[in-house]
Structures are given as structure tokens and as C-alpha cells.
């Protein structure tokens, strides 16, 4: 009986390892394609090419990834304190620091409530942040004295989302300042050295 169970376990482990090996490549390709589509979406283009990538850490030790492209800069940041847990966003910035677009890459928020973050803050929606510059005034919900309408019944998610966007801006501004770029010219994009 013990030999049979051991044999079954070895066969099952081998099958799982094989399936993992053959699916690893397609999974990575899918992640890369999703990231490229997200970068294009937040920058409002269809053909951005990532030129440099830099990973920095925010004040809480979370990784913030800065993607410098030939069409602008996109920044991926995380806020671990959404209502359902981690909230990961990708934000595109214009040269002067205003928000060109965003997409929610990952969340565990309540469907129908916090999950609305994917569209609630888009252009023309109730919490519209597109065109706002977090460098002029940090984005906060109106309940906390800010000027962004929170998602109805999802203030915790809204706060987490806006914190992630503010962190993304801080990383963008830090990369711009480090590289000596002011962001005042439409032709200039921060050139970021690969540190990862």
C-alpha cells in the first residue's frame, strides 16, 4: 500500500512539474502583453515601447516600478490597505506631472462596490482624476478634505486607490528630479537607468 501511494505521489508531482514547465512561457508572455496593453492604455497611445525600467521602494517598502517609454512614463504602484487587500495600479503621467490615464492591474475589492475603482476615477466619471496633477495637490477624497469624490460606499477602497496614485506620482517626480528633467518640455521624458 505504501509503495503504491508513493508511486502515485511521484507520478502526480512529475505531472505537475511538467505542466508548470510548459505553461511558464505562455504565462510570462501573457503578463508581458497585459503590461504592454496597460502602458499603452494609460498613456493614451497604441505603440509605446519601454526603453528603461526602474524599481524603487515607497515609504512602506513596497516596490514601485517606473516604465520610461518613447511616448511617456507609466508607473506601477501598490497600496496594501484596500478594503479587500492589495490594490495595484498603473498610472500614466504627462511631462508636467498631470495624470494621462490609469488602470487597475490587481485588486481584491468587493464586486459592485470597491471594484468600481477601474472606472470611477476615469475621465468624465464622478471621481475623475484625469488631468489632475498630484504634485500641485495630493489627491484625497472629499471626506478627508480633498476634491475627489469617493466611490459610493467604498471610501476605504477610494483612499487606497488615491494613495497608490500619489505614490506613483512621487516615484515619477523623484525619477524626473534625479535625472535632471523638469518635465516642462513635451519632448523630454525622464531617462531612467535600469536598477533591477
The boundaries of the domain holding residue 168 are: 38-178
Specify if 174 maps to a domain: yes
Specify if 100 maps to a domain: yes
Specify if 57 maps to a domain: yes
Specify if 49 maps to a domain: yes
Specify if 10 maps to a domain: no
Record the cell numbers describing residue 155, joined without a space.
471610501
CA angle (182, 184, 188) in 5-degree steps: 80
Specify if 113 maps to a domain: yes
Chain segment 51-91, per-residue pLDDT in tens: 999 999 998 899 999 999 999 999 999 998 888 888 899 99
The pTM assigned to this predicted structure is 0.77
> What does the pLDDT read at residue 178?
58
Closest to 67 measured CA to CA, from 49, 45, 79: 49
Q: What phi and psi, each to the nearest 5 degrees, are found at residue 100?
A: -85, -35
**DSSP-derived 3-state class of residue 82:** coil
Specify if 184 maps to a domain: no
Specify if 27 maps to a domain: no
State how many domains the chain has.
1
- Is it the case that residue 176 has pLDDT exceeding 90? no
pLDDT band at 118 (very low <50, low <70, confident <90, very high): confident
C-alpha distances out from residue 137 to 60, 76, 103, 122, Å: 21, 20, 21, 18
Amino acid at each position: 500500500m505504501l509503495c503504491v501511494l508513493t508511486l502515485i505521489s511521484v507520478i502526480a508531482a512529475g505531472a505537475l512539474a511538467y505542466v508548470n514547465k510548459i505553461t511558464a512561457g505562455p504565462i510570462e508572455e501573457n503578463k508581458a502583453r497585459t503590461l504592454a496593453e496597460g502602458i499603452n492604455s494609460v498613456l493614451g497611445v497604441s505603440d509605446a515601447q519601454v526603453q528603461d525600467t526602474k524599481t524603487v521602494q515607497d515609504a512602506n517598502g513596497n516596490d514601485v516600478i517606473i516604465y520610461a517609454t518613447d511616448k511617456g512614463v507609466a508607473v506601477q504602484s501598490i497600496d496594501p490597505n484596500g478594503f479587500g487587500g492589495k490594490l495595484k495600479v498603473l498610472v500614466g503621467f504627462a511631462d508636467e506631472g498631470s495624470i494621462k490615464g490609469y488602470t487597475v492591474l490587481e485588486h481584491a475589492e468587493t464586486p459592485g462596490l470597491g471594484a468600481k475603482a477601474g472606472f470611477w476615477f476615469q475621465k468624465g466619471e464622478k471621481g475623475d482624476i484625469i488631468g489632475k496633477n498630484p504634485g500641485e495637490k495630493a489627491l484625497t477624497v472629499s471626506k478627508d478634505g480633498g476634491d475627489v469624490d469617493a466611490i459610493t460606499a467604498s471610501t476605504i477602497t477610494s483612499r487606497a486607490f488615491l494613495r497608490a496614485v500619489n505614490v506613483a506620482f512621487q516615484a515619477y517626480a523623484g525619477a524626473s528630479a534625479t535625472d535632471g528633467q523638469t518635465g516642462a518640455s513635451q519632448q523630454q521624458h525622464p531617462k531612467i537607468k535600469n536598477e533591477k
